[in-house]
Structure 1
């Protein structure tokens, strides 16, 4: 086994700043949604993805990919959200194995209620702290990282 290529000081500073701040940011956004609306950040992400679809439905396997989660984890999450009345499951008529997650009216109402809190948090804790150029750089960097990781994931 070869010796690992250690990070230099600048690389370590970038990695640690990303790692700590991303954990803190996600935790803060999650707490704000739970405290104000009794909804998790993960649930909010699911509601957003479903709301963005014209028919407010998405195959569970596609949804799992879009929220960077496993099919099993999304299935459990959808079951919990279904009990809360936020989503429903619907079988795919063209494929007996396929299942859709479908946004309910209650789910859309919860999304509309929670969106201002979430957007205010994203602005306060990230967007307002960065310039447009920094935002463009962040987008390019993490689109590249995400694309590479998505290409190597075979869930």
Structure 2
């Protein structure tokens, strides 16, 4: 199976099971053309599955949350990091797998994800700590996550 979604926006590539495991599988996540699973692409499927469901529900029920004017992407990312803005956090699908922290921003006139690599092992290292932005519609995110949910294994036992 090829990637679900569009790599230049959001794509999830479901790979082979890890070493024959029923609970661990290679899964690549692409955001804005960048691999946000660059350091470790083995996901623990029960956690990945439940976090996909949670992100879909969060996005479906998302209400506008003021972001205090029009701060820069870097300032907004720093604000979300300091306030633990759970309502904005997205794609935290498996803590050991994701090499970047991602936040979804929605207002009546725009929809986008900002993200930053946190893992010092990410290459190129010059990207660690930089904030990237991907303009993407909420429905496109939901559709990609739902299709992924329908295509990953749920036979974990």
TM class by smaller structure: under 0.3
More strand by share: 2
More helix by share: 1
Which protein has greater RCO, CA pairs closer than 8 Å, 6+ apart? 2
Q: Please report the TM-score for the alignment, with normalisation by the length of structure 2.
A: 0.28
Q: Please report the TM-score for the alignment, with normalisation by the length of structure 1.
A: 0.28
